[in-house]
Amino acid sequence: EPEVTQTPSHQVTQMGQEVILRCVPISNHLYFYWYRQILGQKVEFLVSFYNNEISEKSEIFDDQFSVERPDGSNFTLKIRSTKLEDSAMYFCAGQGVGQETQYFGPGTRLLVL
Amino acid sequence: TQLLEQSPQFLSIQEGENLTVYCNSSSVFSSLQWYRQEPGEGPVLLVTVVTGGEVKKLKRLTFQFGDARKDSSLHITAAQPGDTGLYLCAGPPITTSGTYKYIFGTGTRLKVLA
């Protein structure tokens, strides 16, 4: 059964550094999402992406964040200058056209020191 | 603010007991999904319910979507230690903007004792 994959599984970085989180969605999905989950808190929406552009973003998704799908397969989340409060699990999700269900990847645990 | 409230937050029961987890909102949802999440991993889909009043069964798990599509429940019959985990409900609320983003519930952490 096809799965969403994410790399790296863990990333430790210094405050102020740039990080890129990568996701390979299920091949026939066209809607893509990033969510994050701070330790002990609920999963929260960051951004949705369709047809090579952002369709919606939350107030968390400020100018330090960007997303792109450069090659039609990978879907990336970039944080330009990480802050301590960016430490969280980041989940990628994908959704097929006309489908209700989003399928989640295993997540990247980001720790900003 | 659209919220999905889950209850109970924590549940510890003996093997063989039945339990029900609730997911409630004041908003109408296009669908509701139930996921199970293990520590350090992503949410794994259990079921999607779409139609108001819909009931779906997955072995010992029974899922129901409320008639008004504002609430859902998960019932586990004869719980087993392997059912231990964090159960999440999530879905896209119906809005004028036609968003597909998910709102996640607060989670129910279940522990089944042998």
Cβ-defined contact of A104 to B90 (cutoff 8 Å): no
Distance CA B73, CA B42 (A): 21
The answer to whether the beta carbons of residues A76 and A65 sit under 8 Å apart is: no
Task: Select from B8, B48, B106, B103 the least CA-distant residue to A101.
Answer: B48
Distance CA A77, CA A13 (A): 15
Cβ-defined contact of B101 to A89 (cutoff 8 Å): no
Q: Does B42 touch chain A (CB under 8 A)?
A: yes
Q: Is residue B17's pLDDT more than 70?
A: yes
Task: Select from B44, B35, B83 the least CA-distant residue to B60.
Answer: B83
User: Could you tell me what percent of chain B has a pLDDT over 70?
Assistant: 96
Cβ-defined contact of A104 to B43 (cutoff 8 Å): yes
What are the pLDDT digits (tens) for A23-82? 999 988 999 999 999 998 999 999 999 989 999 999 999 999 999 998 877 999 999 999
What are the pLDDT digits (tens) for B78-98? 999 999 999 999 999 988 676
State residue A72's pLDDT score.
Answer: 76
Neighbours of A24 (CB within 10 A): 17
Q: Does A101 touch chain B (CB under 8 A)?
A: yes
User: What tokens were used for A110?
Assistant: 């980001």
